[in-house]
Amino acid sequence: MTRKPRLSPLAMALCALLLGAAAVAQQPAAPAADGAKPDVSRVERSYMGAASPLGTEPMHQTSNPKAPPMTQAEFDRARQIYFERCAGCHGVLRKGATGKALTPDLTVPKGTDYLKVFIGYGSPAGMPNWLTSGDFDEATVDLMARYIQHDPPQPPEFSLADMEKTRKEYVPVAQRPKKKMNSYNIENIFSVTLRDAGEVALIDGDTKKIINIVKTGYAVHISRTSASGRYLYVIGRDARLNLIDLWMEKPDNVAEIKVGLEARSVETSKFKGWEDKIAIAGTYWPPQFVLMDGDTLKPRKVVGTRGMDVNNEFHPEPRVAAIVASHQKPEFLVNAKETGKILMVDYTDLENLKITELSAARFLHDGGFDSTRRYFLTAANASDKIAVVDTKTSKMAALVDVGKTPHPGRGANFRHPKFGPVWATSGLGDESIALIGTDPAKHKANAWKVVQSLKGQGGGSLFIKTHPKSNNLWVDTALNPDPKISQSVAVFDIRDLSKPPQVIDIAACAQLKDDGAKRVVQPEYNQKGDEVWFSVWSAKDKASAIVVVDDKTRTCKLAIKDPKLVTPTGKFNIYNTQHDVY
């Protein structure tokens, strides 16, 4: 239980100031520029305020004579706290993203005392109450109130030459196997992110044994399989990209590169004739993406994403979120998060690069294909919309209103008993699960509409999943503040969606004895579609596990427990990732 801090004289004075500013604080928050709702739940703040690797990077600092004085040690400490707690919402350059802008032209006129109240007690628009929650003490509140009146320090840029300096080929292409050298069923291997260890665990889906623990970047965000199924690409939040060769006797790293200072996304070319030839990685900082040789990670082309957003306003740091490889053309689809633009990048000629720009909505996050792999559906989570791209015509097909802050992962495809093919998304902001019709040819009346909204356990859902051979739709709620909800999952029978979901206590299946958080995250099917794997995610110093559930009976089969499984989160089955099965 978190103990509430006692109010000191300073805090009491701040309370008085807060009461004096009540008339301002109680006014309705101004709507965001993109029309998004201003309120942000505690669940969403937990998700968006995640730590950034930029806290320890050397940065350029400018001087603002109107800002209150700070020592260099104070400035450095405040900078680290900002990137750990605040940059996810307010942006690296403090220009505003999900949170409001915090640039000196806005903060200096407010003054330190006002900003202390804002930081310490929060606001109706969703600013966390850092002091009264116990996360900050009064000295830290004062430190941050002074810091945000200084000019924001800008991280360094990262060029193609900078990337090339970091690249390593542990096993040159000529020395790699000419054929598969192991007996593993590669198509049923799982790449499991060990978030805080800076590793991925390769687990044999048939035997449930760990094949290898591979050193990677910190907090690997995703694993992606090459079109041939041979290579596995994993990228950490620190922008370290690792290439793993699954043909080796013991699959391991064969190359790596650092593509920036902070990143989330990687993908490889899948169009016929281009299999495994081109890789792409997108970064949060600098705001750009890089195209590379698929087998060596040698960087070939860097493209910046800074520019005008969907409201024709300039944004200095549009972070690259999801990237997917088109199955219709030799193209990558790149989400420029803050601008709300989707970039269709033709990779056939890197010297004379062609990019088709589509305007969707802010802020673009993750998404996946419909069952035909023609339409790309992606969340614009600050606008509470799903953007639909027709990758055959290279045009926007629709913008669909859904629940609060959609977060689909790659979504879930299945055939609805009444409305035909649908794609589903859950979300962070509420309990709704939107089912969107995806068949404009045979079910035109249902296409690009929410044909049904299901009710899950609550907000805080990160992933939703089904399989072509399954009758189940699984929904996690890993970031819900209620432990009973975050440690369990809801499962719907897609043959009869009028029935309420069954709730399964996955954490209990793990039988972990300590008091860890045991958040249950990301259902992932095996190759056959008869098992669903869940991460039971606790802190770095607590025991975690992978729970395997029989999809047909919805019963727990076993728990994979090993001291090496440190903070397991995302899991990616090689076959399903290779073929976009979800």
Please state the φ and ψ torsions of residue 492, each to the nearest 5 degrees. -105, 150
The Cα 93–Cα 90 span in angstroms is: 8
* Reduced DSSP (H G I as helix, E B as strand, rest coil) percent helix, strand, coil of the chain, to 5: 20, 35, 50
Beta carbons within 8 Å of 17's beta carbon, 6+ residues apart = 113, 114, 116, 117
Nearest partner of 581 among 321, 229, 194, judged by Cα: 229
Long-range CB pairs of 435-441, under 8 A, 24+ apart, other chains included: 435/497, 436/377, 436/386, 436/388, 436/400, 436/402, 438/370, 438/371, 438/372, 438/375, 438/377, 438/413, 440/397
The catalytic site residues sit at: 86, 89-90, 127, 365, 407
Number of Cβ atoms within 10 Å of the Cβ of 158: 21
Long-range CB pairs of 55-58, under 8 A, 24+ apart, other chains included: 55/79, 55/80, 55/81, 55/82, 55/83, 55/84, 56/80, 57/155, 57/156, 57/261, 58/156
- The SS3 of residue 262 is strand
- The SS3 of residue 336 is strand
The Cα 511–Cα 545 span in angstroms is: 9
Sheet holding 412-416, edge to edge: 412-416, 420-425, 432-437, 450-455
Q: What is the dihedral of CA 157, 160, 164, 166, to 10 degrees?
A: 20
Answer yes or no: are the C-beta atoms of 114 and 149 closer than 8 Å: no
Angle of CA points 367, 280, 319, to nearest 5°: 60
Q: How far is CA 352 from the centre of its chain?
A: 31
